[in-house]
Amino acid sequence: ALQPAWRHRIIHRDIKPSNILLTKNNETKVMDFGLAKNPESDLTQSEVIMGTAKYMSPEQATGGACDIRSDLYALGVVLYELAAGQPPCSGEGPTAIMYQHVHKQPAPPRQINPNIPEEVEKVILRLLQKDPQARFRTPETLVSAIRAIQEGVTPSEKSTLYNETL
């Protein structure tokens, strides 16, 4: 669902379950672009922290520069929550949660739910990397990794077999 927005270089900045819908045709749609940003024609105030603390990327929580990898981080939080049944970061309030996003590594989701496939856990943990450079670069590279898992090929094997860089 993030692919069409990113093709237009739009960063959502508030990916969370209530902004993700599944249509009757099983298509995933993203809603509420109220905090969205286009880095090439940004009309929003810079260095202001916007978004929902529970799903906020480390760079977003510190007022840093955001790109599509910030949205991918937030998607990783949503996937972690779906897989583990709890968020990767929690606390007494937004500041405590944002602190954890910036400074604390979440427990691997398989420690909470051992039924999560190892390759799925790897994708989730890559989405939750503190350093944006360590995350998937684009929604397309994430989709490629997910399709590889569905096909029974690890992302590293797919990279080798198909000469794709994830």
Q: Which residues are designated catalytic?
A: 14
Q: Is 85 helix (H, G, I), strand (E, B) or coil?
A: coil
Q: Which of 155, 140, 132 is nearest to 73 (CA)?
A: 132
**What CA–CA distance (Å, rounded) separates 79 from 82?**
5
Apex 126 CA angle, 79 and 145, nearest 5: 80
118, two tokens: 């190892």
Q: Are 15 and 71 in contact (CB under 8 A)?
A: yes
21, two tokens: 């819908």
The set of residues, in sequence order, having a beta carbon less than 8 Å from that of 151 and lying 6+ positions away, is 158
DSSP state of 45: P
**What CA–CA distance (Å, rounded) separates 148 from 154?**
6
